[in-house]
Amino acid sequence: MTSLDRYAVFGQPIKHSKSPRIHQLFAEQTGQALMYTAEEVSANVFTAMAETFFAQGGKGFNCTVPLKELAWAWTARKTERAELAKAVNTLALQVDGSVLGDNTDGCGLVRDLLVNHGIALAGKRILLLGAGGASRGILLPLLEQLPACIVIANRTTDKAVALAAEFAHKGDVSGCGFADLSSHAPFEVILNATSASLSGQLPPLPAGLLAEQGVCYDLAYGNEPTAFVRWGLENGAIKSLDGLGMLVEQAAEAFFIWRGVRPETLPVIALLNAER
């Protein structure tokens, strides 16, 4: 009997993860025979679970909160984008038996903006709100699009300045506090990577931040528009998007890494949107 290639998402909590559904849809669409499950994994059992998964023949898994940094520490071999992100969301068994750690979050965001929404980043002034793991994870792919600049603004100013310094060799990046933002405005693209959305809150954003024809994008998503998506609409954004497209795109990139086939994402995004 041939068993199906096995994949999973590890996280805690994981019950509401859309990843098994997304990968199932990708597999059906591309005719790939595989199994993808959601596994409740706490930080203190991550290493044991990862080792067991591969020892039992698993081909690869995704990691979500709170495991991306642990997965980064656990994988000896990493792509440059994962190395700089200090977070791994995709682990893939290689032919030589080693495991490669990658991070598909930033490229998922960039593909959603560029391909799905026609929003180019080259030459643009980008404001990135937040200086935590979510911001770090997307900085390299954003800089690779050659924006005019990225300004990172954070509640704790020092963290924004330190994060900017880490990526300064890759492009024009600077860090500041929210109170200093007006002197850098306006921005053509504002990305919210704070965890404020998750509790329905907004960073303290001064008026006049968004350029005419500007775009807002919240990395978080929900069944209702997030506080930041609403802020974008109220402040004249021509598009104010949430992170559902990014979620599907980062999954598609992981699927491509594992299976060598790129699934069509638009039908999957449309289906998930219709179910909100």
Task: Name the residue nearer to ligand ATR (CB basis): 75 or 89.
Answer: 89
- Rounded to a whole number of angstroms, the minimum distance from the CB of residue 218 to ligand ATR is 12
- Rounded to a whole number of angstroms, the minimum distance from the CB of residue 4 to ligand ATR is 32
> Are the C-beta atoms of residues 143 and 207 closer than 8 Å to each other?
no
Q: Fill in the DSSP letter of residue 197.
A: G
- Rounded to a whole number of angstroms, the minimum distance from the CB of residue 91 to ligand ATR is 18
- Rounded to a whole number of angstroms, the minimum distance from the CB of residue 52 to ligand ATR is 26
Task: Name the residue nearer to ligand ATR (CB basis): 66 or 171.
Answer: 66
What helix, strand, coil percent values describe the chain, rounded to 5? 45, 20, 35
> Are the C-beta atoms of residues 99 and 93 closer than 8 Å to each other?
yes
Q: What is the torsion angle, in degrees rounded to the nearest 10, for the CA atoms of residue 141, residue 154, residue 9 and residue 266?
A: -50
The enclosing H or E element of 63 equals strand 60-63
CA–CA distance, 236 with 208 (Å, rounded to integer): 10
CA–CA distance, 132 with 26 (Å, rounded to integer): 30
Contact residues: ligand ATR, CB under 6 A: 130-134, 154-156, 159, 194-196, 201, 203
Task: Name the residue nearer to ligand ATR (CB basis): 42 or 156.
Answer: 156
CA–CA distance, 189 with 237 (Å, rounded to integer): 9
> Are the C-beta atoms of residues 187 and 127 closer than 8 Å to each other?
yes
Q: Which residues contact 31 (CB under 8 A, 6 or more apart)?
A: none
Residue type, position 121, single letter? L
Residue nearest to ligand ATR (CB): 132
Residue type, position 118, single letter? G
Task: Name the residue nearer to ligand ATR (CB basis): 14 or 27.
Answer: 14
Can you tell me which residue has the tokens 């990862």?
50
CA–CA distance, 16 with 12 (Å, rounded to integer): 10
| Active-site residue, selected from the candidate residues 68, 78, 86, 159 | 68
Task: Name the residue nearer to ligand ATR (CB basis): 52 or 201.
Answer: 201
- Rounded to a whole number of angstroms, the minimum distance from the CB of residue 263 to ligand ATR is 26
239 is catalytic: no
Task: Name the residue nearer to ligand ATR (CB basis): 133 or 245.
Answer: 133
- Rounded to a whole number of angstroms, the minimum distance from the CB of residue 54 to ligand ATR is 25
Residue 152 dihedral angles phi and psi, to the nearest 5°: -95, 120
Point out the residues that are catalytic. Answer: 68
